[in-house]
Amino acid sequence: MARLVWLIPLFPLVGTLVNALFGRVIGHRAHWIAVPALGASFLASYAVFVRVSGGETYTGDLFQWIAAGSFQTAITAQVDPLSAVMLLVVTGVGFLIHLYSAGYMHGDDGYARFFTYLNLFVFSMVMLVLAGNFLLLYVFWEAVGLCSYLLIGFWYQKQSASDAGKKAFIVNRVGDFGFGLGIMLIWTTFGTLDYGEVFARADASVSVATYTAIALLLFMGACGKSAQLPLHTWLPDAMEGPTPVSALIHAATMVTAGVYMVARSHKLFEMAPVSLEIVAWVGGLTAVFAASIGLVQTDIKRVLAYSTISQLGYMFAGVGVGAYAAGIFHLVTHAFFKALLFLGAGSVIHGLSGEQDLRKMGAIAPRMRVTAVTFVVGAAGLAGLPPLAGFFSKDEILAAAASEGHTLLFLLLLAGAFMTAFYIFRVVFLALFGASRLSHEAAHHVHESPAVMTVPLAVLAGLTVVAGLALGLPSAHGTAFSRFLAPVFPAEEAARGLAVPLVSVVVAVAGVLLAWLMYGRRPVTAEEIAVPKNALHSLLLHKYYVDELYDAVFVRPLFALSGWCARVFDLGVIDGAVNGIGRLVVAWAQGLRRVQTGFVMNYALGMLAGAVAIVAFLLARAR
Amino acid sequence: MLPLISFRAIAPGMALAATACLLLLLDLLPTRGRKDHLAVVGLAGVVLSMILSLGLWGSDERAFNGMVRLDGFALFFNLVIGFATGLVLLLSIDYLRRQGMESGEFYILVLFSAVGMTLMAGAGDLIVIFLGLEVMSLSLYVLAGWFEGRLEAGEASMKYFLLGAFASGFFLYGIALIFGATGSTNLDRIAVAVAGGAARDPLLIIGFGLLVAGFGFKISSVPFHMWTADVYQGAPTSVTALIATGSKAAAFAALLRVLLSALRTVQPDWAVLFWGLAVLSMTAGNVVALAQQNIKRMLAYSSIAHAGYILVGVVAGGALGGGGVLFYLLVYTFTTAGAFGVILLLERDGREAVAVSDLAGLATRHPVLALTFSVFLLSLVGIPPTAGFVGKFYLFGAAVRTGYVWLAVIGVVNSAIAAYYYLRLIVFMYMREPEGSPTVLVPSLPAGLALAVALWGVVQLGVLPAPFLDLAQAAVIPLLR
């Protein structure tokens, strides 16, 4: 098993290196390296998954990494049912996205660079999932952040893209700061960073306050990476990256890292019940908050971005109420349908020669049949219409919230579900059906995407249809999925009755119906979609002014301060000092250089003087 | 009593010596002017010697009446010397031909100097150290002046020889005085005498001071460093690499042996002295390096500064400091041999490209070479994840752990100063436009192989240092018993 496990990250790493070193030569054939690399990685993941389903697990060191006194850390991989599932999602969905990218990015100048980053991204995420200790987790947590920066700002010539890349990186830093502190606190508390040892030592001998601090600091990191309130602002801007990147970030890698990390460290969170409560509420609030913004956005990718934030909120809500398996299950199904929606949106954008604005779409379903059908499947999955995957996984979370006595949270999530169904079908009706608002130019060129793009769509649509039925049917012993994860997470309560699913289906259908009434029943004009009708609409359209708030509270004062530092403090004090020291040292160097006369006699004299000085010094000390 | 002869104890050195003798014979065979095969045979001898060292791993014995020791310490240094010699042989093959100075004697002398080095590493007696020192140095004196037609080569060889002879005089006189004070030149017996009260004897103190002067010359520590820049500049670049890596490692090996086995009981006394030498070497080396325009001279001052860093580990002493020194010498061998290896591949207008400005725009024309050179330079600065960082980390860490906090602070400040002149080369490679005729890379398969090995070493020791560090620390243990 050991070899198999290390093969999973090896393939994308090799792909990265090959494309990075020989990208110039490989150029537009880069996908011949990157896509098979991911395919092989997926096959290895699948083989590992099969072994794990047979009850095997693996924990092993590649090598001892850092040894500094009592601080010992190895490059450790850990494979258990949780990581096996994550690996399958990361490499599987990642593979489809790679395949799709070969079509989407066709002809781009940075083709090889793109695949280099893409492979590196998957490699980092795989290592993040495989990591067997917190330090390694942290390293690849950061690596994933780096890759997101590189890919969001992939079209760096575009100011908005490079700004978005920076924003993603900086906002993530805020969360990572807490995450880093949390890991340090784990080290000082338990004296180890190894998962197994930390969780084994997590007992009542440590105070609840410490556990709470650790859990909240870790969660701070999760908030940044998984774009939860109040660190969600980077994700919508991340749309500046190429669409496959958005799909990769939103579905398979990056944002799921936070949920995974919280689930992985659930032992620590459970020792501090308050922290779980906070996780659940942050998740619930984010779910509704982001969904409400998604109601009015006019950029197709932005709707999906807020949808991702909202759905991640569901996952955190699930994890927060102790339904870990449900949270992870939603992560998996979400990976399928969100990748599908993003790639579908990408296909639409591709077909419309780069148009992303919902106001300039409409009635393209007949000309892009595969895209339209699969997109509707994805939308239904997201809305939670039975029997698609999203229905089962969202339902698990809702049911868990209801049965754990979080009634308010349950209602919140239910409201979110209504909004979800509404906003995604709003996109469906506006983009695919109704009256055409396309510009004459675009209307002329509408075309279905090539097979290399539509095949991944079809596969993901298939997964969206079957995943729920195959894995999510509740039984007396929980779902098949939760039974698989039982070695990692404590067994959950089973069979919860029909009330919750019924209510959620009613809510979802109501959302879809409302969307149809407003946007599907009759043609709507571009103005109707975008012009705010009232204050609430305006508030939502401006995303609750969070960006403006941050700009006023953090960014501007910081800019003012840095401006002052740069002009006054840096130029005057620091630069002065540095230049002064520099000049001093160089002057000194020029002086010392003169000692180096080149005459052997002088050198010998220097040596003699040195020897005399040493002997004199030693003798003087001996007195 | 006749000394007991144990060829086992000197097997790695013998392998080198035998190879050198074989080369003497092979050199007589008529060939069509090419001497590649001699280098290959020499390389085989080096590899054989390293394999023997690995095979003997774990031994701890004294031979030839305590004149020679076979322990982990000697074996570790045999590996370092093996890497240094092997890399230098690989680097020399095409380089010598290019300069029109290809000859069998070159490889033979390199091997003989390696024999001297292994002798120093495994010496249990001051006389053997001296013997090794001379065997090594005499070969190096000749090698330094190999490009006999060049003025600077003659200057390098002559200066190296004269000053080296001067230093040897100090060294030998030091041995004589120590013999006078303790009645022996054997390190174990000196240790007994020192513990028994000879430490206060002025004879011993003066003798030790002179010994330090002799060692100071070989490790190019201030104030015995002045030959370094001239010799590094004038010697063939591959020989410079050997002087910077192998001979320095061997001198440190002997110095550590003397300090740790014979004089451990009086560590506080010599620690202060080396504290001063370390600070002087680091500071003077780095500061003067700032003003250099010739890369080989710059690396010469850099090597003086590195002697200072390594002396920090010597000051700390014990398994931590000693282990740090051994590890750093291994790191330094890969890094420096690699850096000189890159320089030696560059030509401009038909002459060797050794000016800093020759590097301008190298990254656009030879990206892989520029990247390789950058890695070596970053390792010299001590930036993770290169080996240089780990090496410095353990050296300075040992100093902090043993209470020499200020020494570590000075070391770190010095590293910061040093970053300036190393990074300047990177700036030239990546950010400056070349003026005049371009600097060209002269491709060479053996040199490429050497660079690959050096690069592997730098990355391996930087990313996965633990096993090698364990080896280095274990290697010091026999000295501390």
pLDDT of residue A157: 80
CB-based contact B287 A589, cutoff 8 Å: yes
Domain final residue, candidates B262, B297, B330 = B262
Does position B115 have pLDDT exceeding 80, yes or no?
yes
Q: Which residues of B touch A61 (CB under 8 A)?
A: none
Residues B255 and B273 in one domain: no
DSSP B186: B
pLDDT of residue A496: 65
Residues B280 and B185 in one domain: no
pLDDT of residue B13: 93
CB-based contact B272 A621, cutoff 8 Å: yes
Q: Which residues of B touch A621 (CB under 8 A)?
A: 269, 272
Does position B386 have pLDDT exceeding 80, yes or no?
yes
pLDDT of residue B242: 95
Q: Looking at CA atoms only, how far is residue B196 from chain A in angstroms? A: 16
pLDDT of residue A476: 64
Residues B251 and B315 in one domain: no
Q: Mean pLDDT, chain B, as a whole number?
A: 91
Q: How far apart are CA A423 and CA A415, in angstroms?
A: 12
Domain final residue, candidates B211, B236, B262 = B262
Average the pLDDT over A89-108 and give the result. Answer: 83
Domain final residue, candidates B211, B242, B262 = B262
Residues B84 and B137 in one domain: yes
Decide: B439 and B358 in contact? Cβ < 8 Å.
Answer: yes
- CA A591 to chain CA centroid, nearest Å: 56
pLDDT of residue B2: 62
Tally A–B CB contacts below 8 A. Answer: 100
Q: Nearest 5 degrees, angle CA B46-CA B47-CA B48?
A: 90
B132 inside domain: yes
Return the minimum-mean-pLDDT range out of A280-294, A544-558, B107-121, B315-329.
A544-558
Q: Locate A317 and state its tokens.
A: 């809500």
For B462, the closest chain A residue by CA position comes to A65
- CA B464 to chain CA centroid, nearest Å: 22
Q: Looking at CA atoms only, how far is residue A135 from chain B in angstroms? A: 15
pLDDT top residue among A449 and B170? B170
Which among A556, A376, A455 has a CA at the least distance from the CA of A95? A455
Q: Locate A271 and state its tokens.
A: 């020792």
Residues B224 and B303 in one domain: no
Q: Residue type for A259, please?
A: V
What's the whole-model pTM score? 0.68
Q: 3-class SS at A327? A: helix
CB-based contact A589 B170, cutoff 8 Å: no
pLDDT in tens, A553-604: 777 777 777 777 777 777 777 777 777 777 777 777 777 767 667 788 888 8
Q: Locate B231 and state its tokens.
A: 């010799």
Q: Locate A86 and state its tokens.
A: 């994550």
Does position A494 have pLDDT exceeding 60, yes or no?
no
B480 inside domain: no
Q: How far apart are CA B144 and CA B396, in angstroms?
A: 33
Residues B316 and B218 in one domain: no
CB-based contact B464 A68, cutoff 8 Å: no
Q: Looking at CA atoms only, how far is residue B38 from chain A in angstroms? A: 35
Residues B354 and B329 in one domain: yes
Q: How confident is the model at residue B273 (pLDDT cuts 50, 70, 90)?
A: very high
Decide: A350 and A293 in contact? Cβ < 8 Å.
Answer: no
B3 inside domain: no
Decide: A410 and A401 in contact? Cβ < 8 Å.
Answer: yes
pLDDT in tens, B49-104: 999 999 998 888 888 888 999 999 999 999 999 999 999 999 999 999 888 888 88
Q: Locate A462 and state its tokens.
A: 């298939």
B1 inside domain: no
Q: How far apart are CA A262 and CA B200, in angstroms?
A: 66
What are the start-end ranges of the H helices in B317-444? Answer: 318-344, 362-365, 367-381, 387-401, 405-431
pLDDT of residue B378: 93
pLDDT of residue A495: 52
How many domains does one find in chain B?
2
Does position A298 have pLDDT exceeding 90, yes or no?
no
Q: 3-class SS at A556? A: helix
Q: Looking at CA atoms only, how far is residue A607 from chain B in angstroms? A: 5
Average the pLDDT over B432-449 and give the result. Answer: 87
Q: How confident is the model at residue A110 (pLDDT cuts 50, 70, 90)?
A: confident
- Give the residues across from B441 on adjacent strands: B346
Q: How confident is the model at residue B280 (pLDDT cuts 50, 70, 90)?
A: very high
CB-based contact A607 B217, cutoff 8 Å: yes
Does position B347 have pLDDT exceeding 80, yes or no?
yes
CB-based contact A609 B223, cutoff 8 Å: yes
pLDDT of residue B1: 57
Which among A472, A463, A470 has a CA at the least distance from the CA of A391? A472
Average the pLDDT over B353-371 and give the result. Answer: 89
Residues B258 and B287 in one domain: no
Residues B17 and B112 in one domain: yes
Average the pLDDT over A372-398 and give the result. Answer: 83
**Residue B89 belongs to domain spanning:** 11-262
Residues B154 and B288 in one domain: no
Q: Which residues of A touch B384 (CB under 8 A)?
A: none
Average the pLDDT over A171-185 and give the result. Answer: 86
Decide: B273 and B212 in contact? Cβ < 8 Å.
Answer: yes
Residues B246 and B298 in one domain: no
Question: Residue B34 class from Cβ within 10 Å (0-12 exposed, 13-18 middle, 19+ buried)?
Answer: exposed
CB-based contact A618 B467, cutoff 8 Å: no
CB-based contact B206 A610, cutoff 8 Å: no
pLDDT top residue among A423 and A107? A423
Choose the most confident range, by mean pLDDT, from A308-317, A468-477, B246-255. Answer: B246-255
Average the pLDDT over A171-191 and give the result. Answer: 86
pLDDT of residue A26: 75
pLDDT of residue A68: 62
Q: Do β-strands B346-348 and B68-70 pair in parallel, antiparallel, or remain unpaired?
A: unpaired
Residues B170 and B49 in one domain: yes
pLDDT of residue A621: 85
| Cα separations in angstroms, B176 against B203, B207, B264 | 9, 7, 20
Interface test with B, best of A62, A607, A612 (most B CBs within 10 A): A607
The answer to whether the Cα torsion of B48, B49, B54, B56 is positive or negative is positive
Return the minimum-mean-pLDDT range out of A15-19, A444-448, B466-470.
A444-448
Question: Residue B131 class from Cβ within 10 Å (0-12 exposed, 13-18 middle, 19+ buried)?
Answer: middle
B285 inside domain: yes
Q: Looking at CA atoms only, how far is residue A188 from chain B in angstroms? A: 20
pLDDT of residue A31: 77
Q: Looking at CA atoms only, how far is residue B199 from chain A in angstroms? A: 9
At a CB cut-off of 8 Å and minimum separation 6, what does A312 contact?
Answer: A226, A227, A228, A255, A256, A258, A259, A283, A286
Q: How far apart are CA A238 and CA A232, in angstroms?
A: 11
